[in-house]
Structure 1
Amino acid sequence: MNTEDKIYAEKVLKNLLIGSQVDGLQFGISPGAIKIHFTTFHDSVDYDGQLYINIESKWRLFNKLQKRYPLNEDEFEDYSVEEEYERIFKIRRQKVTDIQLGLESPHLIITL
């Protein structure tokens, strides 16, 4: 992704998600697919649909911002299905405070 596209994409994601809260999840077609739903409870803007991210690859929940993030999925520990749902449940109702796109994969960083 070139720099101009990255900046534009970050602005769009920030506009949509900052201030929203993790509000639920939906099981995907395959065992590894999860949709995490976000809702803005105190905003009068109607986006004409549910805001969500669709996760189909390994992901990781960090307790604090990192100086260095893993460069690829191979550096992530494997979560069981139960561990994934437990981690999502722990962030339930937490507000999105920032969104960043990294230069390398994993490239979506959501700060709660």
Structure 2
Amino acid sequence: MRKLKSICSVFSVMVTFSWTAFGAESDSYDAGQAYQTTCFACHGTGQAHAPLVGDIIEWEIRLDKGIDTLVQNTINGLNGIMPARGLCTDCSNDQLRAIVEYMLEQSK
């Protein structure tokens, strides 16, 4: 059951990524660069117990809650530790989703 759930989650991410990839906004948007600029300080170092990009187990646990939950946690912040919008105050919600998808892709 868990394997099926993981496969469905990955499929959901792929479909969402495909949708985002063809949006006009993402034509010039570099989610990898945005990650380096705004997210790496925590998700590249483990600061404040942030899940490290590349840590498959930690991201799978979070992905079990669904991509929409991950994106909403990014937009709204989480538990007073994860800042709202991940400190990317000029990122749109679609751009934040693209960054989350980038981080998930790097954590496979």
- Establish whether TM, by shorter chain, passes 0.5: no
Larger radius of gyration: 1
Higher relative contact order (CA 8 A, sep 6+): 2
User: Which one has a larger percent helix, Structure 1 or Structure 2?
Assistant: 2
Name the TM-score, length of structure 2 as normaliser: 0.31
Name the TM-score, length of structure 1 as normaliser: 0.31
